[in-house]
Structure 1
Amino acid sequence: MVIKVIGMGCENCDKLYENVMEAVKETGSDAVVEKVGDLMEIVKLGVMAAPSLMIDGKLVIAGRTAKTSEIVRLLKK
């Protein structure tokens, strides 16, 4: 599983990254977590709102900071 936290480094983007890392830890997942902050890469991914979250290439959260519990549910799907 590849998880991408997308955003240019704002406070909300950093919080989403922290929540993702906590969710990965809680679930015991062996997911690879990437932080995407390069504007050109964000455009290539087709993301228009930050912070956003992609799991295996699918945009699952856009324009908000998800709580750890919500991310845990997404990882368990």
Structure 2
Amino acid sequence: MEIKVLGPGCKKCGTLAEATKKAVEELSIDANITKVDDMIKILSYGVMSTPALVINEKVVVSGKVPSVSEIKEFIKNA
């Protein structure tokens, strides 16, 4: 599974990255988590508000930091 955290490096982006790592650990799945801070790449996903979470190249949330349980649901549904 490929998971990307999109954001320029703000505090919320870091919080989303940590919550995503925790969700992956709790689900005991094999996932590659990447932080993307290049604005051109972020915009290529159609994201106008960061942070954003991309799972298997699909944007699942943008503009807010979901809870760990919400992230786990996004992963299960991917």
Q: TM-score w.r.t. structure 2 length? A: 0.93
What RMSD over aligned residues (CA atoms) do the two structures have, in Å?
0.9
**Match of 1:73?**
73
Query: Unpaired runs of 5+ in structure 1?
Result: none
Query: Unpaired runs of 5+ in structure 2?
Result: none
CA contact under 8 A between 2:19 and 2:68: conserved in structure 1? yes
Rounded Cα–Cα distance in structure 2 between residues aligned with 1:58 and 1:43:
13
Rounded Cα–Cα distance in structure 2 between residues aligned with 1:46 and 1:34:
18
Give, as a single letter, the amino acid of the residue that structure 1 aligns with 2:46: G
State the number of aligned residues: 77
- Percent sequence identity is 42
Runs of 4+ in 1 over 6 A off after TM superposition: none
**Match of 2:36?**
36
